[in-house]
Amino acid sequence: MDAKRLVRPGIGLLVLTLVAVGISLGQQPPPTETKGIKIVPVAVVDLGPEIPGMQGRQLRMRMATVEPGGVLGVHNHKDRPEILYVLQGTVVDHRGSEAKEYHAGGHWTAALGVTHWFENKGKTPAVLLAVDIFKQQ
């Protein structure tokens, strides 16, 4: 048997292994810092007088503009359920190893057990409407 035939399959396997290891080692941790995002309060309702047992909680609506390259750092939604709606542009929501792209008219939720972060990979600002129940400190 020709020595070249023995070497080629081994090299192919080695290359595939190195690519797989590089991909798994190349995964970076999620960003913890928020950058390129402007959040403007739209409306707030104090839920204490509205619903028994909701003292200290607010229903709030905010508008967030995420500039190209902007990132909302990793966070969780323990005790703060939220609905996000994309008014303009595109954002990518990351949850663990999964990423999902949302365009204008798209929406997603984040509630108990959700840890995520999102970013604008596009060339234009993304505008989001965020509604959540927030516990005042």
pLDDT category of residue 27 using cuts at 50, 70 and 90? low
pLDDT, average across residues 41-45: 97
Which residues of the chain form beta strands (DSSP E)? 35-46, 57-76, 82-88, 90-95, 98-103, 107-110, 115-119, 126-135
pLDDT in tens, 89-119: 999 999 999 999 999 999 999 999 999 999 9
CB atoms within 10 A of CB 121: 14
pLDDT, average across residues 54-60: 97
Q: State the average pLDDT for the chain.
A: 86
Q: Decide if pLDDT at 26 tops 80.
A: no
- Residues with Cβ < 8 Å from 59, sequence gap 6 or more? 44, 45, 47, 131, 132, 133, 134
Whole-number Å distance between alpha carbons of 118 and 95: 9
For the full predicted model, state whether its pTM sits above 0.75.
yes
CATH of 35-135, one of 2.40.50.140, 3.20.20.70, 2.60.40.10, 2.60.120.10: 2.60.120.10
